[in-house]
Homo-oligomer: A and B are copies of this chain.
Amino acid sequence: MLFYVIMENNNYKKFMLLAIEEAKLASKNGEVPVGAVTVYNSNVIAKSGNLMVKYSDPLMHAEMIVLKRSSEILANMGLSIRHEKLDIYVTLEPCAMCAQAISLCRIANLYYGADDPKSGGVKYGSKVFEHSTCHHKPNVFSGIEKEKSKELLQKFFKKLRNSNI
């Protein structure tokens, strides 16, 4: 049983570190450094950072991109994302849009890194999963590798502030 827990720990750290790599890549491209990874049967099915700047589209949050890609990949396999058990790893607490998207896709487990008191929609703000209008609530695990995610965001915004002075 202990072994199982250790394996679990290793797995979820591994996937979160992949999400953090996506956040780093995003940062290099001038995007707010947030990354996300979807996992299906222990395999990574999609990974991305934010792409809002690239596409001039404020809806291109990392979570939305990986959920959409996962839907496509599963549909090509003749499967529906709503009927499969997927997990999502995100470096930052999802906003209300992404939280509701996670619910609509019936994601089994949401693992996220840093909390987002300013714009979050899971632990903070509209707390999307906590209402009767939310018809599927994933298991939520927060704080995974949160220092790494926070540091990336802080560095990014510090650099942005300095460049604007």
Contacts and interface: CB of A to CB of B under 8 A. Distances in A.
Interface of A: 55-59, 64, 67-68, 71-72, 74-75, 80-82, 95-101, 104-106, 116-121, 124-128, 130-135
Nearest to A71: B57
Contact of A133 (B80, B81, B126, B131): B126
B59 A96 contact: no
Contacts of A119: 133, 135
Contact of A97 (B57, B82, B97, B116): B97
Nearest to A67: B59
A56 B73 CA distance: 10
Nearest to A132: B125
Contact of A134 (B59, B98, B125): B125
A80 B60 CA distance: 14
A127 to B, nearest CB: 7
Contacts of A121: 96, 100, 126, 128, 133
A103 to B, nearest CB: 8
Nearest to A80: B56
A126 B125 CA distance: 9
B133 A96 contact: yes
Contacts of A57: 68, 71-72, 75, 81
Given A55-B75, A59-B67, A104-B58, A126 B131 contact: yes
B135 A96 contact: no
